[in-house]
Amino acid sequence: MAKRRRDTDLLFKSLADPGRRKLLDLLHAHDGRTLSELCEHLDMTRQGVTQHLDLLEAANLVATVRRGREKLHFLNPVPLQEIYERWIAKFEKPRLKALDDLKRRLEKTNGEIDLCLRDLHPHHAGEAVVSADH
């Protein structure tokens, strides 16, 4: 059990940094990249990126494969799935999702207000529509 707790601590620690989250996003957009390719997209020293990747690999969020002299980095989504099941799914309710959708759409543009209200109340679409000009 102690081992498992350390794994979880390492996982959350590795997610608690914007640079490392950016790296995960970059790998999600395109997997199998080399260190140099990843560095091109980050405002960080090569050494800094290496250290972040080492931590992500230790947390099992990144898997590496050697191809000749190159080392390719792949996103390993399994620990994220475990976080989802342990920390999100059990607290989740459809209403929370509706609220989250509302927040995101409202923050995007005012012009989409009537659209999101219609989505929230599919059975009362006619009543819920408000003008986007307000």
Partner 1 sequence: MTYIRTTPEKLWSALTTDAEFMKQYWFGVHCQSHWTAGSSWKMVHDDGQISDAGEIVEAEPPRRLVIRWQHQSKPELKAEGESLCTMELEPSGPAVKLSITHTIERDPSKLIAAVSDGWPKIISNLKSLLETGSVVSTNAYPASNQP
Query: Of 46 and 121, which has the nearer Cβ to partner 1?
Result: 121
CB of 22 to partner 1, least distance (A): 20
Residue 79 contacts partner 1 per CB under 8 A: yes
Cβ atoms of 75 and 28 within 8 Å: the answer is yes
Candidate ranges 36-44, 46-54, 72-80, 110-118; the one touching partner 1 (CB under 8 A): 72-80
Could you give the CA distance from residue 87 to residue 77 in angstroms, rounded to a whole number?
15
Could you give the CA distance from residue 25 to residue 21 in angstroms, rounded to a whole number?
6
What element of type H or E holds 113? helix 113-120
CB of 72 to partner 1, least distance (A): 11
Please list the alpha-helical segments (H only) found in 30-65.
35-40, 46-58
Candidate ranges 46-54, 58-66, 109-117, 120-128; the one touching partner 1 (CB under 8 A): 58-66
Residues forming contacts to partner 1 in the complex (CB under 8 A) are 60, 63, 65, 76-82, 85-86, 89, 92-94, 97
